A and B are shown apart, each in its own frame.
Chain A
Amino acid sequence: MVVFLLILHGLCAVALLGAITHQTFAAWWPARKAIGFTPSFRAVQGAKFTNAIVILFIITFVLGAVIYPPYRLTGRTYLETMRMWSVNGSFELKEQFLAIGLGMLPFYWHVWRQSLDDTLALARKMTSALLFFAVWFGFITGHVVNNVKGIM
């Protein structure tokens, strides 16, 4: 069951990564014409991803919280025994970054809901960038930790 939830957590994270990456690139580096791969990637309407990102973030976060206790008992104990401090510390950072991201979600939803309000353009860029960073960092760290010691 834990392995199933871990895979589901990873799949939700992949979907979240795609959505937040599209939105962040569209906000920071908008493309006027969708010609070719890179401009097409950036030429999306970022606001349309907002609800999906909020829902995926919460689902991924909850799944991560459910599989956290098995990690605490097996994975982290192993990392401490093996003195793999940087991997352990990266996971600590992951949980703090994503917790702050969770608290920022209402504000994120608010600024992206009013997509035509130019006064919130910087807030839209920054909230997306922070979630982009937190989600990518969490994804890579989770992968590394799972490669070092899976929760079986």
Chain B
Amino acid sequence: MMIARLSPIFSAAFAIAYVIIEQNNLALFTYHPRINEWGWLMEPSRNGPGMYWFGWLGSSALVAGLVSLVSVPLLRNRPVPSIMGWAVPLICMVLFVYLLRAFFFR
């Protein structure tokens, strides 16, 4: 079952993409909560703060989906190591602790 075989790749790709996208603010869309408006890609704040988290999730899902699709012909009958599915997310979570450390040392 291809979807099951691709799940560790999707999991790893999503985590890596999310870190890169969050750090570079490559949001697929922006939400402006004060005026209840949406905009494509990263937009500067409009009359209040802009929210990019929804856009980061969208970008990450898109990238992870594309990476999974591209890996289909490359995989053929090769086994996908299951460690990818949990070790990469674990590393990315630890990486976020490091990247956000400034909040805790002010």
Q: Using a CB–CB distance below 8 Å, which chain A residues touch chain B?
A: 65, 68-70, 72-73, 76-77, 83, 85-86, 88-90, 92-93, 95-97, 99-104, 106-107, 109-111, 113, 119-120, 122-123, 126-127, 130, 133-134
The interface centre, meaning the residue of A99, A111, A134 with most chain B CB atoms within 10 A of its CB, is: A99
Closest to B92 in A: A100
Per DSSP, are chain B's interface residues mostly helix, strand or loop, or mixed?
A: helix
The interface centre, meaning the residue of B8, B61, B93 with most chain A CB atoms within 10 A of its CB, is: B93
CB distance from A33 to the nearest CB of B (A): 30
- Chain A residue numbers with a CB within 8 Å of B7 are 106-107, 109-110
A123 touching B86 in the complex, CB below 8 Å, given contacts A85-B103, A110-B7:
yes
The answer to whether B106 touches A120, judged by C-beta atoms less than 8 angstroms apart, is no
CB distance from B12 to the nearest CB of A (A): 9
At the interface, yes or no: B18 with Cβ under 8 Å from chain A? yes
Pair count A-B, CB < 8 A = 109
The answer to whether A111 touches B85, judged by C-beta atoms less than 8 angstroms apart, is yes
A72 touching B49 in the complex, CB below 8 Å, given contacts A93-B100, A97-B96:
yes
- Chain A residue numbers with a CB within 8 Å of B60 are 99, 103
CB distance from B106 to the nearest CB of A (A): 5
